[in-house]
Amino acid sequence: MTRHVKNDELLKYQMDLLEEGKAKSIRQHLKRCRTCRSALDRAKADLHVIGGFNPEMEIIVPPLPTSSSSRVQSFLRVAAILAIGFLLGVLTSESLRSPAVEIVPQHFVGSPPATTVGQFTVCP
């Protein structure tokens, strides 16, 4: 290849759009042609500008989201702990139960209830 490489071809070369045979001949030409190397550098710089959109922004990492399956697992775990606690409570209350207290009713023995008016005392 003695003529200069066209700009479009250089752009394709830089963007890896050419077949290997064509790319190889351009590579060999570039070794001995300063003009084409400069043109290639311009293409590289342009591509760098096109890919250079980089707005300033603060990256705040949010907490790791929990999946629905892990939420279900957490729920089941809590439910299991509660069930075990309940069973343990029932079992220990059975074993530690104190003997029943017998309550004996005590009757008050006094005068029989009044049945006639005369039997009532008059308040002063």
Partner 1 sequence: MISDWEYLGRARNGEEEAWRLLFERHYGALVRMSALIIGSIDTAKDIAQEAFTCLLHDRNEHHGGSFRAYVSTIAFRLALKEKARVRRIGQSGHPESADDSYSPLHSVMQREEQRHLVRVIHMLPDQYRETIVLRFYGELSYEEMAETLGVPVGTVKSRIFYAVKECRKLMKKRGML
Interatomic CA distance for residues 33 and 50, integer angstroms = 26
Interatomic CA distance for residues 65 and 42, integer angstroms = 46
Query: Closer to partner 1 at the Cβ: 53 or 120?
Result: 53
Among the listed residues 8, 27, 80, 82, the single contact to partner 1 using CB under 8 A: 8
CB contact set of 88 (below 8 Å; sequence gap of 6+):
none
Using CB under 8 A as the binding rule, the residues of this chain from 31 to 60 that contact partner 1 are: 45-47, 49-57, 59
Cα angle: 28, vertex 30, 31; to 5 degrees: 70
Among the listed residues 70, 80, 85, 91, the single contact to partner 1 using CB under 8 A: 70
Q: At residue 7, what is the residue type?
A: N
Q: How far is the CB of 79 from partner 1 (least distance, A)?
A: 20
Length of the chain: 124
Query: Closer to partner 1 at the Cβ: 55 or 110?
Result: 55
Assess 118 for contact with partner 1 (CB under 8 A): no
Interface with partner 1 (CB under 8 A): 8, 11-12, 15-17, 45-47, 49-57, 59, 61-67, 70
